[in-house]
A and B are shown apart, each in its own frame.
Chain A
Amino acid sequence: MASTMAKALNTALADALAADDRVVVFGEDVGALGGVFRITDGLQARFGDTRCFDTPLAEAGIVGFAVGLAMSGLRPVVEMQFDAFAYPAFEQIASHVAKLRNRTRGKLSVPIVIRVPYAGGIGGVEHHCDSSEAYYAHTPGLKVVTPATVEDAYSLLREAIDDPDPVVFMEPKKLYFGSAEAALPTRTEPFGRAVVRRPGRDATLVAYGPAVPVALEAAEAAREEGWDLEVVDVRTIVPFDDETIAASVRRTGRCVVIQEAQGFAGVGAEIAARVQERCFHALHAPVLRVAGLDIPYPAPMLEHTHLPGVDRVLDAVARLQWDDQPDPRWAAQGSAA
């Protein structure tokens, strides 16, 4: 049956609310309105305003309130309205959500799900399109999950709500409303497992969230150039699946990591380093990264310049030393030294 990621997330929340009385859903505009992206549509009407409710407009308060609710035994699922609006909550997330289990030797856990609609490609104005996953992935104690398919959206969100640890659940906004065949409810691979979305022999494209469809499109386009590319969807940034990704790169011998976020010190850099550490002797070329530019997220009229698209991916694939020549980009610097 055809569905969308938005519908799958909504169904996952409804099913979790129905399955477990301890689950409560709250945030800004999630009640009568059903969320600005309608992810919580109909939940308040169905489950009542003690299970799905609006809060004061204060993100640190929302996450801190969730910490207290979790301490009382509940399972809070909170919505941050947009990526950049979650920043006021960062102290609560980094200092409490991520650390309470550790600070209490496991006596207190905070099984909170923090849903963050993130990344761009929707023509949003400033502060509405940040890719903030690296901030969370860099914080020990958090799990960081980002679905790229409709079925994963459902399954990963259900698993996040059941998980004993706090989960930052990053929802790629531009994938919310794309239609795809999906049988819901469903359970896909668990946390900690990357998935090969498209098998290929010549090179591995590693991507997550909004970059996965870009990678798949690029792999299709690459067939015309004679390259057979494998696409791996990371799915859960934390916990990270080194095994599946390294196995793929050992098979193909080449790797491009794709992320929509600005590249410097990003998740893609971590993945590239991990692949290089594990696959050095299998590599025929340096691991390359394709990312957004190191600029504040641009205005809607310029976002296409920023976003890594198929062309940027194919350019990187072309530089994977197919003829065993040094990458011309770095060769000049190399000879000068």
Chain B
Amino acid sequence: MTTTPQAVRRASPRTRRAATPPDPARPLLPNTEPVRLLDPTGTPLPARTDYPEPPVEVLRELYRRMVLGRRFDTQATALTKQGRLAVYPSSRGQEACQVGAVLAVRDTDWVFPTYRESMALVARGIDPVEVLTLLRGDWHCGYDPTEVHTAPQCTPLATQCVHAAGLAHGEAYQGRDTVALAFIGDGATSEGDFHEGVNFAAVFKAPVVFFVQNNRYAISVPLSRQTAAPSLAYKGVGYGVPSEQVDGNDPVAVLAVLTRAVAHARAGNGPFLVEAHTYRMEPHTNADDATRYRDGAEVDAWRDRDPVARLETYLRARGVLDDAAVAEVAEQAEAYAADLRTRMNEQPTVDPMSLFDHVYAEPTPQLIEQREQVRAELAAARDEEGDA
């Protein structure tokens, strides 16, 4: 074969365009800036093709549930002051995340919440008294997880991420198109189970959406102590998981990003990781003192990005929410809180004998013995009371 001088010139390194292979990580990486569809004042930003705005009737429902959610949260914090709740971890300020995420999934999908997701659970339609059962001081999760497709609120950090991967894989294995939505906080992304959960979901292509609410603090420890990554959303790429970051105080953007993430998972493309940048306006729980680790100016700056006001401003400007509608939602929220107050003021009945009922499917002989012992102790205590 002969080579013409022209052909040599075409192939010479100086003139040939470098044939770099496409970067396989590129499609997995999040946008460098969090996705945002409304600015902090509620003014719409230019529409995006990658994250179309949800239909207006969905946004109105999002607004309604956010208002109810905030009222629920305020009421729960108040109940701790009256001694009706042992403890309450507030998610005030995170309404867009709490409500937006659950609106993105179906009732038949499974949600894996942490202890901070009480608002998300009531937004999912679970009875608030059931949601608060554990925090009230009882020993069980309150609701029936199989009925509401929601795991018990998880206290051990990040452990629910692997459950979500397993549930999603098991559902797909049995021919169902269920998606698992796993909530997790910024601090818990440091736990091994977060990484194992994302990795298992990726390897088995399980339909899971991992939703990281980065509210800046793990109790008192700031994000800078959890990670050196540019964003928590970058943690997906190492596992081959597409990821996105979103302004977590922009309800429209949260719902848009989660909707796309859920569709991605349901279509059989495997898991998706979303980091929402948000802020916990209240202390870690009512027992925490946030003034020891963050200053008021920081909190005030986030107050200006309030997600409820932001959505209200936007919906009003679009002409789909007026004074009457706002008042009606506010009225619903008051009624909801009043009902919760009334029901939480009733002293719950707890039965010590029930402690033995669900340790095993059938109690062991040793538990039967201990149950009889407790029964005798209670009877003796009653007799003493009777004598006194």
Contact = CB atoms under 8 A, between A and B. Distances in A.
Interface of A: 24, 50, 55-56, 58, 60-61, 63-74, 76, 88, 91-92, 95-96, 100-109, 140-141, 143, 163-165, 192, 238-240, 242-243
A143 B360 contact: yes
A239 B365 contact: yes
Given A68-B164, A69-B167, A105 B357 contact: yes
What 3 A-B pairs have minimum CB-CB distances, sorted nearest first?
A: A68-B166, A64-B162, A72-B170
30 contacts: A56-B200, A58-B196, A58-B199, A60-B196, A61-B162, A61-B165, A65-B165, A67-B166, A68-B162, A68-B164, A71-B151, A71-B163, A71-B166, A72-B171, A73-B174, A96-B159, A96-B163, A100-B152, A101-B359, A101-B360, A103-B139, A103-B140, A104-B358, A109-B361, A141-B360, A238-B364, A239-B360, A239-B364, A242-B365, A242-B366
B267 to A, nearest CB: 19
Given A71-B167, A103-B152, A64 B159 contact: yes
B44 interface: no
Contacts of B161: 64
Interface residues of B, number: 42
B196 A104 contact: no
Nearest to B176: A72
Contacts of A68: 162-170, 180
A239 B164 CA distance: 30
B238 interface: no
Contacts of A65: 162-163, 165-166, 169, 200
A102 B193 contact: no
B156 interface: yes
A66 B166 contact: yes
B125 interface: no
B192 interface: yes
Interface of B: 110, 139-141, 144-147, 151-152, 156, 159, 161-171, 173-174, 178, 180, 192-193, 196-197, 199-200, 203, 357-361, 364-366
Nearest to A102: B358
A58 B364 CA distance: 32
A91 B165 CA distance: 17
B163 A67 contact: yes
Given A61-B196, A104-B145, A69 B166 contact: yes
A73 B147 CA distance: 14
A87 B233 CA distance: 29
B146 A108 contact: yes
Given A73-B174, A239-B366, 7 more contacts: A58-B196, A64-B193, A68-B165, A88-B192, A96-B159, A100-B152, A107-B145
B160 to A, nearest CB: 8
| Most B CB within 10 A of own CB, among A66, A69, A164, A165 | A69
Contact of A104 (B110, B144, B170): B144
Given A69-B169, A102-B358, A56 B145 contact: no
| Most B CB within 10 A of own CB, among A58, A61, A67 | A61
